[in-house]
Structure 1
Amino acid sequence: MKLHWSPRSPYVRKVMIVLHETGLLDQVELSRNVVALHMSTPDPVLADNPLGKIPTLVTENGARLFDSRVICEHLDLRAGTGLFPADREARMAHLTWQALADGMTDILLLWRTELSRETGPWEAVTAGWRTKVRASMARLEVEAGRMAELPFGIGHVALACALGQLDFRWSDCAWRGHFPRLAALFATLEARPSVAATAVRDDQDSGPDEVTRGQLDFSDAAFL
């Protein structure tokens, strides 16, 4: 198999965590690609995914799979690891957590790109994103207890990647001080070998991400 990959992508990280969990990592060739909204899509990525996004997985029989949710479920079904539970209630919980965490990650990625625009960000849009991220974190804080009770699954994978993106690109937001149950859960996830081995890293040495500093805080106690 071949995976269009980047060590900075939270969605690629989801797939990498699942590859570790399923024991399929040694069956995948990693193809390094740089993909961003403001850049031309590399031809090899576009050839395998008309949306021009990563991760994209090319299987042994030539099937092209995207996005991370499809790839992760394919790998889990192939290995039978149960990251997508068979039990209906547990499965719906994990899929909902995945949707929430992935949705928050979407916002964080778009928000950072908007902040980088030469003409400046559209404040009405970024204000809306700020509200949604704060609401998402508040909901995840409520869900943290239930998440800690269930076996590790795709909801935990998506959550680890979303919170990892906060630490990587929004490092001054100090979210742990406002969401203690979520912070405790994340600490246990970070200690898991598959999560520790896939920590996001900047292989282009771009330095601190100053563009996001001061843009996101969780200090409004009334909101929480």
Structure 2
Amino acid sequence: MQLRSSPASPFGRKVKIAAHYLGLSDRITVVPADTNDPQDSLRSQNPLGKIPVLLLDDGTALYDSRVILDYLDMLAGGGRIIPGGTARYEVLTRLALADGIMDASLLRVYEGRFRDPEHHSARWLEIQTGKVERGLAEFERRAGTFDPSLDAGSIALACALGYLDLRFAGAWRNDHPGLLAWLTEFEAGVPSFSLTRPA
């Protein structure tokens, strides 16, 4: 299998951590993708031109990262990072919230990267920042209610916090002691979190 991604992508990082934990990383080759290059085959693999994309041996392309995590979990026997029963929805809800933090953070980065300074929208940045802040506040409030065991929601949260460290100098750490303690424990127990940290 091939994983189309880039080193800084928090969504690609989710897949790499999951693959490592599930014992599937030796079956996946990471192939860099450039979302800004119209000549990159990524756009034929995912019409949205977004990463990550997992290319199966038969040529099937799976996207987005949530679908890929579900597929990898199934491939590893099921119930490893996405449990069954009612616990499934608690994990998937945390996954959705962490993904939302990543989405909003990416939009903040893109505002500075792809729009000329004179066209930056303070209102747009405020909206995206609000999403991040509310998401972090919810995770901080719940930090003691879920442990750093490896499931899809925890992987996504760790990657969201890692992306905030990468792009926003870890400013979240000052006001979220519960999350900071949670991430410290997660990192200590999940070696692939450090191994997948962007250089």
TM range (shorter): over 0.9
Partner of 2:40: 43
TM-score by length of 2: 0.92
Partner of 1:31: 31
| Cα separation, 1, equivalents of 2:39 and 2:95 | 28
Deviations 1:120-177 (A, max 9, x none): 41111111112221111110101211122x732000000011000000000052x222
Q: Structure 1 unaligned runs (5+)? A: 202-224
Contact 1:105/1:165 (8 A) holds in 2: yes
Contact 1:56/1:67 (8 A) holds in 2: yes
Contact 1:57/1:71 (8 A) holds in 2: yes
Contact 1:34/1:42 (8 A) holds in 2: no
Q: How does 1:45-60 map to 2 (within 5 A)?
A: 45-60=42-57
TM-score by length of 1: 0.82
What amino acid is aligned across from residue 126 of structure 2 in structure 1? Answer: A
Partner of 2:139: 140
What amino acid is aligned across from residue 66 of structure 1 in structure 2? Answer: Y
**Aligned-CA RMSD value:** 1.5
Which deviates the most, 39-48 or 103-112?
39-48
| Cα separation, 1, equivalents of 2:65 and 2:28 | 15
Contact 2:33/2:40 (8 A) holds in 1: no
Secondary structure, aligned partner of 2:34? coil
Counterpart among 91, 94, 97 of residue 94 in structure 1:
91
What amino acid is aligned across from residue 144 of structure 1 in structure 2? Answer: A
Q: Give aligned pairs, total.
A: 195
Q: Structure 2 unaligned runs (5+)? A: none
Deviations 1:159-213 (A, max 9, x none): 011000000000052x222111111001111221121221123xxxxxxxxxxxx
Which of the two has greater helix per residue?
A: 2
Secondary structure, aligned partner of 1:199? coil
Counterpart among 160, 177, 180 of residue 183 in structure 1:
180
Q: How does 1:98-109 map to 2 (within 5 A)?
A: 98-109=95-106
| Cα separation, 2, equivalents of 1:4 and 1:66 | 10
Runs of 4+ in 1 over 3 A off after TM superposition: none
- Seq. identity, %: 39
Counterpart among 62, 74, 79 of residue 76 in structure 2:
79
Deviations 1:27-83 (A, max 9, x none): 112111122xxx334431112111111110111122110000000110011002610
Partner of 1:209: none
| Cα separation, 2, equivalents of 1:172 and 1:143 | 20
